C-alpha cells in the first residue's frame, strides 16, 4: 500500500483511536475476567483488529468525500453500539443480542431505569468521534490518500489476515469457542465486541431458518433422551396431595435466597418469609436456582409453564410466541382448571398478550384491571400491597379450581420506594442498587404476608396451595464489591456467584402439617412437573426437562442457561469444577470424605457437562423448530 506524500490515511487514525477506546471500555467498564496473559493479549489486540476491518473498507470508495463520510458515520454508529452495550451491561452484566433488539417495544416502559444506568463520563466515549468528524470535515487535504487497486486489495487482505490471526489465538485459548455461543463473555473476550455482534447476526439468521426446515424427525431422539435421563416412573409420596385445590402462584420479583433468614443493619430483611421456613405447612427449598437468561421474568414464566429451558439469546416470549407448546395451563385445563395471570403492567410488555394465548392461559389481568394512581404506584407501576389488595376481588370471582399467578413489581431495579413505605433502613455500601434492594425486599415480604391474611379473610386460603418463587436475581455481578462487603467475604468468586443464583421457593399447603426445609438441588425447570404431581395429574407423553422436587429418583443436577450446573456434589462454572460443600476446586479439595482419585476429581464435572449441553441443545431444538406442532399428545 503506497501513501501519497507520506500522508497517514484517516482510517488508520480512526482505527488507533477506536481500538484504544474499545480496550479501555473492555478493561474498565465491562467486568471481564482475565485468567492469564494470553487472554490479556487477545483482549488488547481484538479491538484494533475489528476497528481496522471496519474502517479499512473506506479505501474502496473512489471519491474522497465518500471516504470521509463513511469514516465519520461508521465511527458514530460503532460508538453508539459500544454505549448501548455499556448501559445494558450495567444492568444485566451481559451483552446485547439481535433478539433483544427486536424487544424494542419494551424500551418505552424501561424509561427511568435506563437513565439511572447512564453516567456523565459516558460522553467521553464520543471524544474521538468528534475529533474524527473535525478532521474529516475541515482537514480533509491532510488525510486524502488515493489508493491504487493493489493498495485496496492489500488493505482487505491485511484485514482478513489480522482477523484470522485473532480467531486462531482465540481458538487456541478457548477450544470450541463457537460451539458454546451462549457464553457471550468468552466471545467478546476472544473475538471482540464487533465480531461478536457479526457472529450473533449469523447465529440469529441460522436460528430463524430452523423452523422452516424442521420436519419433526428430531423428536424421537429427544423423546428417547428424556425417557432415559429425565423421567421417573416412580411417583413421589406427595403425588395428589393437593388434588382439586386451587393453585396460587406468587412470582416474587428479583428476590434472592441470601436475604432469607438474614439481617441488614441488625434487622430481619424478610420476617414473614423467614417464618414460613419454620411453618409446619410449608416446604422451603434452600437450594433452588433460577435458570433465566436474557428474558429474566418472562424466562422464569416460560420455565414454570413448560419445563423447557429459555433461549441463550433474547426472550422466547418475543422470538417464539407463535409456537405451539404443551404448557401447564393446557394440561391442567383437562382436569377442570382455569388459568389466570395477575400483573399490573402493560399487556404488551414481554409480549405477554401473544405468548399467553400460545400457553393457553385463560385470563390476563393487566394494568387495565387495576386502579393505578400516582399515590399507589412507584417505579414500574402499582405497588405490591395495593396490587394484592385489588386482586382479591378478581380472585373471588373466579370459578374453582383455578391456577392463578401473581407477578409482583415493587422489588424491581432500580429499587425505588417512598420513605413512608420503608420499614428498614437502606444498606451502606458503594452500590446504591444493593443499598436500596433491602427496603424493597422487606416491602414485598410485608405485601405477601398481607396477601396471606387477605386470602384467609376471603375464605380462599384453606382450599388452595400457595407457591412462592423468586423469578431471577436482583443484584448482578456488577455489584460484587458491595455484595462481598455485605456477606463478609474478601471477594465474590465464580463459585459464590453461582450460589447467589439461588432464589426462594416455597410450597405452602394449609393443614398439611409435614412441612420442612429441604436441601434438594432443584430449579425452575422442576416447577411444572412438581405442580402436576401435587395435583395428581399424570402427563406421561409430554416432553420436559425437570423433575418433581419431591421425587426420590430425580436427576441430581440443575443446569443454568449459560451452561453452568449445580449437582449434589459439584458446581461447574467458568471452566472450573468446584466441591459444592466446601467451594474448593475439586482437584485441590482436602476433604477426606471424598473417596475419589485425583484423575477422577479433575474430570468429575465432565459427564454432567455433556448432559447439560445435550439438554440445552434439545430444548433449543424444540423451540427453534417449533417441534410441538409435530407431536400428538394424549387428550
Looking at residue 589, its pLDDT comes to 42
Q: Is residue 400 part of a domain?
A: yes
Residue with more model confidence, 160 or 360? 360
Lowest mean pLDDT, pick from 79-93, 104-118, 287-301, 595-609: 104-118
Looking at residue 279, its pLDDT comes to 97
Query: 430-439, pLDDT tens digit by residue?
Result: 999 999 999 9
Kindly state whether residues 512 and 385 are assigned to the same domain: yes
Final residue of a structural domain among 529, 546, 562: 562
Please give the full DSSP string across 399-463, using - where no structure is assigned. PSSEEEEEE--SS-TT----GGG-SSPPP-SS-HHHHHHHHHHHHHHHHHHHHHHHHHHTT-STT
Percent of the chain with pLDDT over 90: 59
- What nine digits make up the cell of 255? 428476590
Count of CB atoms situated within 10 Å of the CB of 358 = 19
**Mean pLDDT of the 470-495 span:** 95
- With a CB cutoff of 8 Å and minimum separation 6, the contacts of 175 are none
Phi-psi region of 115 (alpha: psi -120 to 50; beta: other; left: phi over 0): alpha
Kindly state whether residues 107 and 247 are assigned to the same domain: no
CA distance linking residue 99 with residue 313, whole number of Å: 6
Say if residue 388 is exposed, middle or buried (CB neighbours under 10 Å; 0-12, 13-18, 19+).
buried
Q: Is residue 70 part of a domain?
A: yes
Kindly state whether residues 206 and 256 are assigned to the same domain: no
> Could you give the strand order of the β-sheet that contains 338-342, starting from the edge strand earlier in sequence?
363-365, 338-342, 402-407, 246-252, 464-470, 505-508, 282-285, 517-518
CA distance linking residue 215 with residue 227, whole number of Å: 21
Q: Is residue 133 part of a domain?
A: yes
CA distance linking residue 582 with residue 529, whole number of Å: 31
- What nine digits make up the cell of 229? 435421563
Contact 437, 445 (CB under 8 A): no
Residue with more model confidence, 50 or 93? 50
Query: 404-460, pLDDT tens digit by residue?
Result: 999 999 999 889 999 999 999 999 999 999 999 999 999 999 999 999 999 999 999
Q: Is the pLDDT of residue 161 over 80?
A: yes
User: Is 22 in the active site?
Assistant: no
Kindly state whether residues 387 and 245 are assigned to the same domain: yes
Kindly state whether residues 256 and 108 are assigned to the same domain: no
Looking at residue 533, its pLDDT comes to 97
Please give the full DSSP string across 39-82, using - where no structure is assigned. HHHHHHHHHHHHHHHHHGGGGG-SSHHHHHHHHHHHHHHHHHHH
Looking at residue 105, its pLDDT comes to 53
CA distance linking residue 51 with residue 445, whole number of Å: 50
Query: 582-635, pLDDT tens digit by residue?
Result: 999 986 444 444 444 444 445 789 999 999 999 999 999 999 999 999 987 544
Q: Is the pLDDT of residue 280 over 70?
A: yes
Looking at residue 192, its pLDDT comes to 85
**Mean pLDDT of the 390-416 span:** 95
CATH number at residue 407: 3.40.720.10
Within a 13 Å sphere around the CA of 520, how many CA atoms are in the beta-carbon half? Answer: 21
Kindly name the residue from 22, 292, 297, 573 that is annotated as catalytic.
297
Tell me how many domains the chain contains: 2
Among candidate residues 469, 525, 473, the one with its CA nearest the CA of residue 498: 473
Q: Is residue 616 part of a domain?
A: no
Kindly state whether residues 292 and 196 are assigned to the same domain: no
Kindly state whether residues 97 and 149 are assigned to the same domain: yes
Query: 97-156, pLDDT tens digit by residue?
Result: 776 665 555 554 555 567 778 888 889 999 989 998 888 887 777 666 667 777 778 878
Kindly state whether residues 323 and 402 are assigned to the same domain: yes
Q: Is the pLDDT of residue 63 over 90?
A: no
CA distance linking residue 392 with residue 387, whole number of Å: 9
Query: 196-253, pLDDT tens digit by residue?
Result: 888 888 777 776 778 888 888 999 999 999 999 999 888 999 999 999 999 999 999 9
Contact 48, 24 (CB under 8 A): no
CA distance linking residue 235 with residue 238, whole number of Å: 8
Contact 438, 426 (CB under 8 A): yes
The angle subtended at Cα 347 by Cα 346 and Cα 349, nearest 5°, is 70
Looking at residue 600, its pLDDT comes to 47
Looking at residue 113, its pLDDT comes to 65
Kindly state whether residues 187 and 251 are assigned to the same domain: no
With both helix axes pointing from N to C terminus, report the angle between 384-396 and 432-457 in degrees, rounded to the nearest 10: 30
Final residue of a structural domain among 543, 562, 581: 562
Q: How distant, in Å, are the alpha carbons of 73, 246, 313, 523 from that of 203?
A: 26, 43, 10, 28
Q: Is residue 23 part of a domain?
A: yes
Q: Is residue 477 part of a domain?
A: yes
Q: Is residue 591 part of a domain?
A: no
SS3 106: helix
Q: Is residue 587 part of a domain?
A: no
Residue 60 confidence class, pLDDT cut points 50, 70, 90 = confident
Kindly state whether residues 144 and 104 are assigned to the same domain: yes
**Mean pLDDT of the 566-579 span:** 94
Q: Is the pLDDT of residue 47 over 80?
A: yes
Query: 516-560, pLDDT tens digit by residue?
Result: 999 999 999 999 999 999 999 998 789 999 999 999 999 999 999
Kindly state whether residues 379 and 512 are assigned to the same domain: yes
Kindly state whether residues 317 and 190 are assigned to the same domain: no
Lowest mean pLDDT, pick from 83-87, 265-269, 492-496, 506-510: 83-87
CA distance linking residue 220 with residue 218, whole number of Å: 6
Average pLDDT, the chain: 88
Please give the full DSSP string across 255-283, using - where no structure is assigned. --GGGTT-EETTEES-HHHHHHTT-TTEE
Domain extent, residue 525, equals 232-562
Amino acid at each position: 500500500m503506497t501513501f501519497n506524500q507520506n500522508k497517514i490515511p484517516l482510517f488508520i487514525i480512526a482505527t488507533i483511536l477506536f481500538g484504544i477506546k474499545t480496550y479501555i471500555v473492555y478493561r474498565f467498564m465491562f467486568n471481564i475476567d482475565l485468567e492469564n496473559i494470553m487472554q490479556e493479549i487477545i483482549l488488547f489486540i481484538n479491538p484494533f483488529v475489528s476497528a481496522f476491518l471496519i474502517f479499512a473498507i473506506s479505501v474502496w470508495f473512489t471519491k474522497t468525500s465518500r471516504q470521509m463520510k463513511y469514516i465519520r458515520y461508521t465511527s458514530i454508529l460503532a460508538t453508539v453500539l459500544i454505549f448501548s452495550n455499556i448501559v445494558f451491561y450495567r444492568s444485566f452484566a451481559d451483552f446485547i443480542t439481535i433478539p433483544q433488539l427486536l424487544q424494542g417495544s419494551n424500551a418505552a416502559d424501561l424509561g427511568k431505569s435506563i437513565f439511572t444506568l447512564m453516567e456523565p463520563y459516558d460522553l467521553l466515549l464520543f471524544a474521538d468521534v468528534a475529533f474524527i468528524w473535525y478532521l474529516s470535515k475541515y482537514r480533509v487535504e491532510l488525510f486524502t490518500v488515493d489508493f491504487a487497486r493493489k493498495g485496496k486489495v492489500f488493505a482487505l487482505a491485511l484485514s482478513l489476515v489480522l482477523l484470522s490471526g485473532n480467531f486462531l489465538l482465540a481458538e487456541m485459548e478457548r477450544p470450541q469457542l463457537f460451539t458454546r455461543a451462549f457464553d457471550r463473555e468468552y466471545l467478546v473476550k476472544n473475538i471482540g465486541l464487533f465480531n461478536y455482534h457479526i457472529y450473533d447476526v449469523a447465529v440469529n439468521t441460522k436460528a430463524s431458518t430452523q423452523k422452516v426446515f424442521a420436519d419433526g424427525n428430531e423428536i424421537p431422539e429427544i423423546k428417547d433422551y428424556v425417557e432415559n435421563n429425565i423421567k421417573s416412573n416412580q411417583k413421589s409420596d406427595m403425588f395428589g396431595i393437593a388434588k382439586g385445590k386451587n393453585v396460587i402462584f406468587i412470582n416474587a420479583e428479583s428476590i434472592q435466597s441470601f436475604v432469607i433468614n438474614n439481617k441488614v443493619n441488625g434487622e430481619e430483611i424478610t420476617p414473614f418469609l423467614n417464618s414460613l421456613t419454620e411453618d409446619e405447612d410449608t416446604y422451603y427449598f434452600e437450594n433452588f436456582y433460577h435458570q433465566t437468561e436474557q428474558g429474566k421474568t418472562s424466562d422464569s414464566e416460560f420455565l414454570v409453564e413448560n419445563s423447557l429451558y429459555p433461549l441463550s439469546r433474547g426472550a422466547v416470549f418475543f422470538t417464539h410466541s407463535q409456537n405451539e407448546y404443551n404448557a401447564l395451563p393446557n394440561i391442567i385445563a383437562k382436569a377442570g382448571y382455569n388459568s389466570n395471570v395477575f400483573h399490573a403492567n402493560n399487556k404488551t410488555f414481554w409480549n405477554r398478550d401473544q405468548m399467553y394465548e400460545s400457553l393457553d392461559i385463560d385470563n390476563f389481568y393487566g394494568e387495565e384491571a387495576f386502579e393505578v394512581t400516582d399515590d399507589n404506584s412507584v417505579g414500574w407501576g402499582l405497588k405490591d400491597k395495593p396490587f394484592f389488595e385489588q386482586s382479591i376481588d378478581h380472585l373471588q370471582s373466579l370459578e374453582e379450581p383455578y391456577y392463578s399467578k401473581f407477578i409482583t413489581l415493587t422489588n424491581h431495579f432500580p429499587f425505588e420506594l417512598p420513605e413512608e413505605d420503608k420499614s428498614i433502613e437502606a444498606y451502606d455500601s458503594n452500590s446504591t442498587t444493593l443499598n436500596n434492594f433491602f427496603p424493597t425486599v422487606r416491602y414485598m415480604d410485608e405485601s405477601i404476608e398481607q396477601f396471606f391474611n387477605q386470602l384467609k379473610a376471603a375464605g380462599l386460603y384453606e382450599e388452595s396451595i400457595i407457591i412462592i418463587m423468586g423469578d431471577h436475581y436482583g443484584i448482578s455481578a456488577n455489584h460484587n464489591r458491595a455484595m462481598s462487603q455485605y456477606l463478609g467475604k474478601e471477594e465474590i468468586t465464580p463459585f459464590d456467584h453461582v450460589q447467589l443464583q439461588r432464589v426462594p421457593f416455597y410450597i405452602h399447603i394449609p393443614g398439611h402439617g409435614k412441612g420442612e426445609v429441604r436441601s434438594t438441588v432443584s430449579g425452575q425447570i422442576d416447577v411444572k412437573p412438581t405442580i402436576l404431581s401435587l395435583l395428581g395429574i399424570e402427563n406421561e407423553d409430554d416432553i420436559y426437562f425437570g423433575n418433581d422436587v419431591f421425587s426420590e429418583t430425580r436427576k441430581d443436577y440443575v443446569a443454568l442457561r449459560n451452561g453452568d450446573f449445580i449437582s449434589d456434589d459439584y458446581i461447574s462454572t467458568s471452566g472450573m469444577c468446584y466441591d459444592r460443600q466446601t467451594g474448593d476446586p475439586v482437584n485441590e479439595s482436602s476433604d477426606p470424605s471424598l473417596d475419589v482419585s485425583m484423575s477422577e476429581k479433575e474430570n468429575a464435572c465432565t459427564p454432567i457437562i455433556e448432559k447439560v449441553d445435550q439438554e440445552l441443545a434439545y430444548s433449543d431444538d424444540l423451540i427453534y423448530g417449533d417441534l410441538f406442532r409435530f407431536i400428538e399428545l394424549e387428550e
